[in-house]
Amino acid sequence: MELIKKLCNAYGPSGREHAISKLIRSEIQDYCQDVQIDRLGNLIAHRPPASEKKSAKIMFCAHMDEIGVIVTHIDKNGFLRFTRIGGVFPDSTLYQRVQFEHGVIGVIGVETKKETPKPPELNNMFIDIGARNKAEAEKMVTIGDIASFHQEFTSINKRVSAKALDDRIGCYCLIESLKKIKNNKDNLYFVFSVQEEVGLRGARTGAYAIAPQYALAVDVTDTGDTPESPRMDVAVGKGVAIKVKDSSFISNPMINDKLIAYAEKMKIPYQLEILEAGTTDAAIIQLVKEGVVSSVLSIPTRYIHSPNEVCDLDDVQCTIKLLISVAEEGIE
* Residue at 157 is within a domain: no
pLDDT of residue 115: 83
Residue 53: band (very low, low, confident or very high) from pLDDT cuts 50, 70, 90: confident
pTM, full prediction: 0.95
One domain, residues 86 and 172: no
One domain, residues 127 and 227: no
* Residue at 241 is within a domain: yes
Residue ranges for the known binding site for Zn(2+) are 63, 166, 197, 219, 305
Of the candidates 280, 174, 162, 298, which has an alpha carbon nearest to the alpha carbon of residue 236? 298
pLDDT of residue 309: 97
Query: What is the average pLDDT across 209-234?
Result: 95
For the segment 112-123, what is each residue's pLDDT rounded down to a tens digit?
888 888 889 999
One domain, residues 193 and 253: yes
pLDDT of residue 36: 96
Output the average pLDDT for the chain. Answer: 95
One domain, residues 49 and 196: yes
For the segment 316-332, what is each residue's pLDDT rounded down to a tens digit?
999 999 999 999 999 98
* Residue at 154 is within a domain: no
- Strand boundaries in the chain, DSSP class E: 34-37, 43-47, 57-63, 68-74, 80-85, 97-100, 105-110, 125-128, 146-149, 154-156, 159-162, 187-193, 214-221, 240-246, 249-250, 270-274, 293-302, 309-312
Asked if residue 167 has a cis previous peptide bond (ω within 30° of 0), the answer is yes
Q: Is residue 264 annotated as part of the catalytic site, yes or no?
A: no
Q: Are 204 and 294 in contact (CB under 8 A)?
A: no
pLDDT of residue 191: 98
For residue 206, give the H/E element and its range: helix 201-210
Query: What is the average pLDDT across 251-276?
Result: 97
Catalytic hit among 17, 176, 196, 309? 196
pLDDT of residue 54: 74
One domain, residues 171 and 99: no
The mean-pLDDT minimum among 139-148, 178-187, 295-304 falls in 178-187
CA distances from 2 to 6, 7, 179, 206, 211 (A): 6, 9, 16, 28, 34
Q: Are 325 and 319 in contact (CB under 8 A)?
A: no
pLDDT of residue 149: 97
One domain, residues 278 and 292: yes
For the segment 60-80, what is each residue's pLDDT rounded down to a tens digit?
999 999 999 999 999 999 999
pLDDT of residue 117: 85
Q: Which domain holds residue 129?
A: 68-149
CATH code at 122? 2.40.30.40
For the segment 167-177, what is each residue's pLDDT rounded down to a tens digit?
999 999 999 99
pLDDT of residue 170: 98
Instruction: Report the domain count for the chain.
Output: 2
For the segment 18-49, what is each residue's pLDDT rounded down to a tens digit?
999 999 999 999 999 899 999 999 999 999 99
pLDDT of residue 124: 94
pLDDT of residue 285: 97
One domain, residues 291 and 175: yes
Residue ranges for the known binding site are 63, 166, 197, 219, 305
pLDDT of residue 327: 95
pLDDT of residue 332: 82
Q: How far is it, in rounded angstroms, from Cα 318 to Cα 310?
A: 16
One domain, residues 13 and 124: no
